[in-house]
Amino acid sequence: MSRSDRICRLITALAGILALAVTIGVPLGYFTVSYHYMHGTLDAEAETGAAVVNGIINSNPLMWQFEHVRLSEMLDRRPHDRVPEERSIADLTGTVIAESLDPLRWPVLSGTCGVYDAGTMVGTMKISRSLAPLLWDTASVAAGSLLVGLLFFSVLCTLPLRAVKSAYNYLQESEKRYRSLYESMKEGMALHRITYDEYGIPVSFSVVDVNPSCCRLLGFTREEMLGKDGDELYSGTVAGYFPEILRAASTGEAFSFDFVQHATSQRLHVAVFFPEPGFFAFLLEDVTQRKADEEQIRRLAYYDSLTGLPNRILLMDRLEQILAKARREKTRFVLLFLDLDRFKVINDTMGHAHGDQLLIQVANRLRHVLRSSDTLARIGGDEFVVLATLDGEEMNVAHLAQHLIDNITTVYPVSSREVYASTSIGIAVFPDDGSDCNSLLKCADMAMYAAKEAGGKGYHFYSPEMNRKAHARMELETNIRHALEQEEFFLEFQPIVNAGDGRFIGVEALVRWQDPERGRILPDLFIAAAEESGLIVPLGEWVLRTTCRKMKEWCEAGLPPCLVSVNVSGRQFSQPGFTDAVCSIVRETGIDPRFLALELTETSLMADGEAAVKALGKLKELDISIVVDDFGAGYSSLGYLHKFPIDRIKIDRSFIRDLGNQSNGRAIVEAIIALASRLNLHVVAEGVETSDQLDFLKEQGCHEVQGYYFHRPLSEETLMALLEEIKENPVPLFASPEGETIAISLAT
């Protein structure tokens, strides 16, 4: 029987009892009260009658029994309307002396009173009436009560029952609603009963109810779970939280935890709440994806996406930790700064995607070589940092650095080509070289530069000397800036001649710096610093503008025109406004652009091939010649050259120097010249110092040569004198694009 049925029955019974009480109680009460009243009335009247008889007795005590006429008359005199009554006076023997009798219907109620003679009872006075009218009245009252009782019953039954029913329906509906919510909710719900031992101490818990999501999350069916012990159902860690759950239950504090359910390998977040004493419920949420996302965000923030290694932020964090520990424990650790040798060239010539492939392979190698306790991070393009603790002597660090170099130095397969890579390492030691993260990193960086300067593929410990060098570098940059402002730069011009007959073809403009204190400084000492600081851009523009001005002056002085080459650094060439700057300088100085050539290295052309093609196209529109400088020193093949509108290639000095040696310099020069002639390119050889070199180059069909064998770089005056000489003895030199012949004579 349901609860609501029980309530209904109870209400019906109560209503029945009440209705019954009304139906029976009212007529019963009416009858009882009326009966007593009637009885009292009869007694009182009998008493009154008896008092009259007493009076008669007092006046004539011996005769009263014979006064029946008088007595009968007295009995006939009734105080009220004639209610049928029987009235009689009898002596003690029961002999009726007088009576007045109306016919009475059964049943009859009588009232009696004694008749006294001087205190002695001598007879009785009795008055009787029929109870029938009272019974009839009681019956009609009972009928009325029955009606009222029935009304009562129906009202009492129906009104509360309807209220209970509707409350019950409402409850049921709301329960249905909550049940469907409970069944369809994404979160799992599990209700548990706490199990107590004989002393009332909680020992474990069992499952009382679960929703479908809970089954899915835990990997069991509902039947498998109901009644099961918590230990069995949940993976190990959950039972461990039981004491804390009990504590939370007693304090009413919120409590939650995470665990991994082994059956489904899902990571679940559990919020515990307490619906009633002796029970607790779990609200389970699958946080596997959320945790994975958080992990991913953490990875993105702290790890390098290419190699998966810690990035600079994480490195600095670890460095802080290791630094604090080393300070506390008074131990030492080292920071190794690795930078791949010539990576920029590989990246520029083979493209970034291939550069990335190489970096991934290098990172993997480093990972395998290092101990798991060491930290390996990638902090920039080809820069890696290793953080290692020093458990033994310092020797270990040198050993570790050499070990890293040996393992990195190899040939890597990069998209069906083989790329050779090596690394330079700078080492800084805590606490010797620095006491904070940044200074240690800076020291290791400087030491790495020293390793690079020593030719790469080696390691270098930091020394304060390096710091001095770094300061010197910064000072140099300041000085270059100052020199630009003070116009301390000037130009020299090195002639380029025809390889066959030594006739003058043109010059290469070379920048020099006249420092008021240090005297004449050659470009090898400052070009690199200028490139690094970006000062090469204004310096390069100054060189180009000055060269063009000189060309114009020579022309106006009536000297014969000659081809003038100007070096352009990669940084300068990659400036977005470079070609516009060239155009405006040409226009502004009014020179004939056919006599201007720009020397670019292959790496600056390859850095952004498409942009280079566009820029060169614009320069070619102006009739400016393009020379590829230091050819062969980069990683590129001749194959790419057909993409660019090039006029000349200049074989790198190092190959010419190597011609006399047993190395394969000869084969390389031979191959370059053969290929260039097939591509219809002019070949220039620079750094020619001997007649043997000249002979070999002539033999191979090299078109033009430049070098100390013919001329050192000349001052402007010397060059002008040379051009004057040529003007005096003109000989045909080279055909301009328009076919006009420019006459210049041999100067040597």
Site residues for Ca ion, 662-701, by CB under 5 A, read none
In 89-211, where does DSSP find H-type helix? 132-184
The site map against Ca ion for 537-576 (x = CB under 5 A) is ------------------------------x---------
Residue 358 contact among Ca ion, ligand C2E, none, beta carbon within 5 to 8 Å by kind: none
Q: How far is the CB of 500 from Ca ion (least distance, A)?
A: 21
The Cα 525–Cα 483 span in angstroms is: 14
Nearest CB to Ca ion, comparing residues 23 and 567: 567
Burial of 446 (0-12, 13-18, 19+ CB in 10 A): buried
Q: How far is the CB of 472 from ligand C2E (least distance, A)?
A: 19
Nearest CB to Ca ion, comparing residues 285 and 599: 599
* 435 CB neighbour count, 10 Å cutoff: 11
Given the structure tokens 């930790």, which residue do they identify?
321
Q: Please name every residue paired with 285 in a beta bridge, in sequence order, or none if there are none.
A: 269
Number of residues that bind Ca ion (CB under 5 A): 4
| Under 8 Å between Cβ of 594 and 736 | yes
The site map against ligand C2E for 533-572 (x = CB under 6 A) is -------x--x-----------------------x-x---
Nearest CB to Ca ion, comparing residues 304 and 629: 629
The Cα 414–Cα 361 span in angstroms is: 9
Given the structure tokens 């960086």, which residue do they identify?
445
Local structure of residue 706 (DSSP, 8 states): E
Amino acid, single-letter form, for residue 634: G
Determine, following the binding rule CB under 6 A, whether residue 633 of this chain makes contact with ligand C2E: no
Cα→Cα distances 520→232, 510, 529, Å? 88, 13, 17
The site map against ligand C2E for 634-653 (x = CB under 6 A) is -------------------x
Residue 540 contact among ligand C2E, Ca ion, none, beta carbon within 5 to 8 Å by kind: ligand C2E
Site residues for ligand C2E, 703-732, by CB under 6 A, read 706-708, 713
The site map against Ca ion for 586-605 (x = CB under 5 A) is -------------x------
Question: Quick one: residue 252, left, alpha or beta (phi over 0 = left, psi -120 to 50 = alpha)?
Answer: left
Q: Which range touches ligand C2E (CB under 6 A), out of 252-260, 387-395, 462-470, 516-524?
A: 516-524
Residues composing the chain: 748
Residue 111 contact among ligand C2E, Ca ion, none, beta carbon within 5 to 8 Å by kind: none
Q: Which range touches ligand C2E (CB under 6 A), out of 268-276, 350-358, 362-370, 687-695?
A: 687-695
| Under 8 Å between Cβ of 378 and 309 | yes
Q: In this structure, what is the dihedral angle of CA atoms 396, 402, 406, 409, given to the nearest 10 degrees? A: 140
| Under 8 Å between Cβ of 97 and 71 | yes
| Under 8 Å between Cβ of 638 and 678 | no
Residue 494 contact among ligand C2E, Ca ion, none, beta carbon within 5 to 8 Å by kind: ligand C2E
Nearest CB to ligand C2E, comparing residues 45 and 686: 686
Tokens of 688: 């020619």
Q: How far is the CB of 350 from Ca ion (least distance, A)?
A: 22
Nearest CB to ligand C2E, comparing residues 285 and 630: 630
Q: Which of 686, 702, 703, 733 binds ligand C2E (CB under 6 A)?
A: 686
- The H-or-E segment that residue 33 falls in is helix 3-59
Nearest CB to Ca ion, comparing residues 460 and 711: 711
Nearest CB to Ca ion, comparing residues 196 and 490: 490
The Cα 176–Cα 265 span in angstroms is: 33
* 9 CB neighbour count, 10 Å cutoff: 11
Residue 713 contact among ligand C2E, Ca ion, none, beta carbon within 5 to 8 Å by kind: ligand C2E
Question: Quick one: residue 290, left, alpha or beta (phi over 0 = left, psi -120 to 50 = alpha)?
Answer: alpha
Q: How far is the CB of 288 from ligand C2E (least distance, A)?
A: 58
Q: How far is the CB of 456 from ligand C2E (least distance, A)?
A: 19
Q: How far is the CB of 675 from ligand C2E (least distance, A)?
A: 21
Residue 190 contact among Ca ion, ligand C2E, none, beta carbon within 5 to 8 Å by kind: none
Residue 687 contact among ligand C2E, Ca ion, none, beta carbon within 5 to 8 Å by kind: ligand C2E
Q: How far is the CB of 382 from ligand C2E (least distance, A)?
A: 23
Site residues for ligand C2E, 228-287, by CB under 6 A, read none
Q: How far is the CB of 364 from Ca ion (least distance, A)?
A: 37
Residue 524 contact among ligand C2E, Ca ion, none, beta carbon within 5 to 8 Å by kind: ligand C2E
Which residues are CB-neighbours of 546 under 8 A, at least 6 positions away? 491
Nearest CB to ligand C2E, comparing residues 543 and 624: 543
Site residues for ligand C2E, 649-678, by CB under 6 A, read 653
Q: Which of 43, 689, 716, 725 binds ligand C2E (CB under 6 A)?
A: 689
Q: Which of 74, 97, 527, 619 binds ligand C2E (CB under 6 A)?
A: 527
Residue 694 contact among ligand C2E, Ca ion, none, beta carbon within 5 to 8 Å by kind: none
- The H-or-E segment that residue 721 falls in is helix 716-728
Residue 143 contact among ligand C2E, Ca ion, none, beta carbon within 5 to 8 Å by kind: none
The Cα 357–Cα 415 span in angstroms is: 8
| Under 8 Å between Cβ of 587 and 557 | no
Q: How far is the CB of 431 from ligand C2E (least distance, A)?
A: 42
CA angle 550, 552, 553 (to 5 degrees): 65
- Cis status, amide bond into 107, omega within 30 of 0: yes
Q: Which of 14, 92, 143, 522 binds ligand C2E (CB under 6 A)?
A: 522
**HSE (CB half, 13 Å, CA atoms) of 202?**
20
Tokens of 457: 């593929």
Site residues for ligand C2E, 91-130, by CB under 6 A, read none
Tokens of 368: 């395998």
Q: Which range touches ligand C2E (CB under 6 A), out of 285-293, 436-444, 548-556, 702-710?
A: 702-710
Determine, following the binding rule CB under 6 A, whether residue 629 of this chain makes contact with ligand C2E: yes
Site residues for Ca ion, 619-638, by CB under 5 A, read 629-630
Nearest CB to ligand C2E, comparing residues 523 and 593: 523
Nearest CB to ligand C2E, comparing residues 683 and 688: 688
The Cα 90–Cα 661 span in angstroms is: 180
The Cα 459–Cα 398 span in angstroms is: 8
Coil, strand, or helix at residue 390? coil
Determine, following the binding rule CB under 6 A, whether residue 511 of this chain makes contact with ligand C2E: yes
- CB nearest ligand C2E: which residue? 707
The Cα 643–Cα 605 span in angstroms is: 10
Tokens of 285: 């949420």
Amino acid, single-letter form, for residue 682: H
Residue 707 contact among ligand C2E, Ca ion, none, beta carbon within 5 to 8 Å by kind: ligand C2E
Residue 511 contact among ligand C2E, Ca ion, none, beta carbon within 5 to 8 Å by kind: ligand C2E
Coil, strand, or helix at residue 731? coil
Coil, strand, or helix at residue 293? helix
Cα→Cα distances 284→176, 194, 748, Å? 22, 18, 94
Given the structure tokens 């290694």, which residue do they identify?
309
Q: Which of 24, 104, 246, 510 binds ligand C2E (CB under 6 A)?
A: 510
Q: Of 566, 559, 475, whose CA–CA distance to 525 is shortest?
A: 475
User: Which residues of the shown chain bind ligand C2E in the complex (CB under 6 A)?
Assistant: 494, 510-511, 522-524, 527, 540, 543, 567, 569, 629-630, 653, 686-689, 706-708, 713
User: Which residues of the shown chain bind Ca ion in the complex (CB under 5 A)?
Assistant: 567, 599, 629-630
